Amino acid sequence: MPLLAPTDNVVISRRDRAQPTEPEIVMENRWCSACGCEFSPRPQAPRQAYCTKPECRRERRRLWQMAKRRSDPDYLANQTQAQKAWAARNINYWKQYRTDHPSYAANNRSRQRSRNNKRKQPSVAKMDLSQASDLLETGHYELRRIGVSPVANMDPWIVKITVLSRAAGPSTIAL
C-alpha cells in the first residue's frame, strides 16, 4: 500500500528537500542615472544603473541606440533602412500631424525662421567699429611692424587693399 493516496493533496516543495542553499545576494540601493531617484537594483543585473520607471527605461534605450549607431555601421544602415521604409509606408504622416497639432507647426515655423536668420548673419566678429565714411580707399599700402626701431632696416610689406562695396550711408569698417 502506497504511503500517499492519489486523493491526498500534498505538495512537496523544493524547500522541503535537503539541498545546499546559495547565499542570498544583497544589493545596495543606487541612484538612477536618468531621474536621480534611489532604487534597488535587481540581483540578476548587478551593474544596473537605471530604475524601472518607463521614462528612465526609455532614456536608457535611447542612449544605448545612440551609442550603437555610432559604433556599428551595420546597425546604423539597418535603422536608416527601417526609417525610410516606414516613411514610404506612411507618406502623409507629418502632413497629418501638422494638421492635427497646429501649435507644433507654428512653433516649428518660428524656430526654422530663427535658424534661417542665424545662417544669414555674417560669422565675422567686429571688435573695433568706425563710422568714418572715407576711412579706407582702394589702393596700395605699406604694412610695417609697430614697435620696431626705425634704425633697423625692416622691409615693409606692400599690400593692395580693394574696397569691394560701400553702403549707401556711413560705412562700417572693422580695423
Nearest to 29 by CA among 37, 21, 17: 37
Q: Is residue 164 part of a domain?
A: yes
Same domain for 149 and 76?
no
Highest average pLDDT, of 6-10, 74-78, 141-145, 166-170, comes from: 74-78
What is the share, in percent, of the chain residues with pLDDT greater than 90? 49
69 has pLDDT over 80: yes
Neighbours of 50 (CB within 10 A): 21
Q: Is residue 35 part of a domain?
A: yes
The residue range of the domain holding 69 is 27-120
Same domain for 75 and 145?
no
Q: 6 or 43, which is more confident?
A: 43
Residue 102 and residue 95 in contact, taking contact as beta carbons nearer than 8 Å: no
Query: Residue 153 and residue 143: Cα distance in Å, rounded?
Result: 14
Count up the domains in the chain and report the number.
Answer: 2
Q: Is residue 109 part of a domain?
A: yes
Neighbours of 163 (CB within 10 A): 12
Query: Residue 162 and residue 11: Cα distance in Å, rounded?
Result: 100
28 has pLDDT over 60: yes
Same domain for 107 and 175?
no
Question: Residue 35 carries which DSSP code?
Answer: T
Same domain for 79 and 164?
no
Same domain for 141 and 103?
no
Q: What is the pLDDT of residues 35-59, one digit of tens each?
A: 999 999 999 998 999 999 999 999 9
Among 120, 135, 165, give the residue marking a domain's end: 120
SS3 38: strand
Residue 172 and residue 131 in contact, taking contact as beta carbons nearer than 8 Å: yes
